């Protein structure tokens, strides 16, 4: 594998997830140790010295940070017979589980982080551990995101360089790199790319669209909506009446998010929003929110945005798992709002 080739990294990640089932892992067959203030010696050696290079100590410090409001967790570390880490399981508040599994897969040492709430599963981070001739990890490449995708136009990869002083692992450098998909693969999206895009946008004539007329129209027309499909059709019909704006963006969020479940929310919200820039480089947000009384049921979660194909966005909303799960349910409340951020 070429570790500088983003397409190769994504394909290796796809191979892993296609061949693994988080509900059927053998991590529980290894020795389990609870993380506490006075950990068992086998675990303490790893936390203090990180002698196998998985950078495990940093992971556990992040999860147990006393300033983190979610730090009250039940964390278990699973060790193989040779004390190599097989996985870490973090149960947060008894509702959300974060699983990080380490293994040798398809010729490489890998780490995969999952989050599970109810029946919802998401892939948070996938890491390649690159070893030197002595068998120590000297590089880590992590493909990171709230929802990993093989087909995103942008990919975020963290590259970490490690060194060793005795048994201690030293972080020499860490950088987050964004890559943009092109016809020839992926190109590093650096500061020069950002500046070039900004210059191009500034050369275009900016359309300042405060959406007040759209707000009045949308608020009036949703009163006639009796179904969720009616709401979607009305929203997209209304925003089509706006003057063309090259900086327009439409976002869609619906279903039961992990954070909502963690905080005990029992309402599932359906949100469509049109964003345009304001005079001071802030944003106007025209949005419609639809609420349902879902109680404890988990609704598939979707989070989409589109700045280029608004009509295609409507089709994706209607075809989404969250819309299909909510479309036949009784609407509790519809709210239309216009805010400036």
336: confidence class by pLDDT, cuts 50, 70, 90: very high
Of residues 117 and 28, more confidence is placed in 28
pLDDT at 220 over 90: yes
Is 316 exposed, middle or buried, given 0-12, 13-18 or 19+ CB atoms closer than 10 A?
A: middle
Lowest mean pLDDT among 135-139, 163-167, 253-257: 163-167
Provide long-range contacts, Cβ within 8 A and 24+ apart, for 103-110. 105/15, 105/16, 106/12, 106/15, 106/16, 107/1, 108/1, 108/12, 109/137, 110/12, 110/16
pLDDT value of residue 267: 55
> How large is the average pLDDT for residues 234-256?
86
pLDDT value of residue 242: 84
> How large is the average pLDDT for residues 315-324?
91
Q: Which of 157, 156, 128 is nearest to 54 (CA)?
A: 128
List the alpha helices (DSSP H) in the chain: 6-18, 41-49, 56-63, 191-203, 212-221, 228-239, 258-263, 310-318, 321-326
Report helix angle 41-49 to 56-63, nearest 10. 100
> How large is the average pLDDT for residues 194-212?
62
Count of Cβ atoms closer than 10 Å to residue 32 Cβ: 15
pLDDT value of residue 231: 94
Boundaries of every domain in the chain: 6-192, 212-340
For residue 240, list its beta bridge partners. none
> How large is the average pLDDT for residues 182-191?
76
Q: Model confidence over 49-81: pLDDT tens digits? A: 554 445 554 455 544 555 555 555 678 888 888
């Amino acid at each position: 594998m070429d570790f500088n080739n983003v397409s190769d990294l994504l394909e290796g990640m796809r191979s892993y997830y296609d061949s693994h089932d988080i509900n059927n892992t053998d991590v529980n067959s290894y020795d389990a140790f609870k993380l506490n203030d006075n950990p068992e010696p086998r675990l303490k050696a790893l936390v203090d010295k990180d002698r196998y290079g998985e950078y495990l100590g940093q992971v556990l410090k992040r999860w147990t940070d006393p300033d983190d409001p979610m730090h009250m967790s039940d964390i278990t570390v699973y060790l193989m017979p040779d004390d190599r880490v097989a996985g870490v399981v973090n149960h947060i508040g008894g509702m959300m589980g974060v699983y990080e599994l380490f293994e040798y897969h398809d010729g490489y040492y890998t780490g995969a982080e999952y989050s599970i709430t109810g029946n919802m599963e998401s892939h948070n981070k996938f890491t390649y551990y690159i070893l030197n001739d002595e068998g120590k990890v000297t590089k880590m490449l992590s493909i990171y995101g709230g929802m990993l995708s093989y087909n995103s136009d942008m990919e975020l990869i963290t590259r970490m360089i490690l060194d060793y002083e005795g048994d201690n692992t030293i972080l020499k450098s860490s950088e987050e790199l964004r890559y943009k998909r092109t016809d020839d693969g992926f190109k590093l999206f650096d500061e020069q790319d950002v500046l070039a895009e900004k210059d191009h946008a500034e050369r275009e004539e900016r359309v300042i669209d405060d959406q007040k007329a759209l707000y009045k129209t949308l608020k009036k027309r949703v009163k006639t909506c009796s179904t969720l499909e009616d709401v979607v059709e009305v929203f997209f019909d209304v925003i089509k009446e706006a003057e063309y704006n090259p900086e327009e963006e439409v976002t869609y969020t619906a279903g039961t998010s992990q954070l909502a479940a963690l905080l005990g929310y029992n309402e599932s919200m359906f949100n469509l929003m049109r964003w345009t820039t304001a005079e001071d480089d802030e944003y106007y947000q025209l949005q419609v929110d639809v609420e349902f009384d879902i109680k404890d049921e988990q609704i598939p979660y979707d989070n989409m945005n589109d700045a280029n194909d608004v009509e295609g966005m409507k089709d994706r909303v209607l075809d989404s798992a969250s819309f299909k799960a909510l479309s036949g349910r009784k609407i509790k409340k519809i709210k239309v709002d216009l805010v400036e951020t």
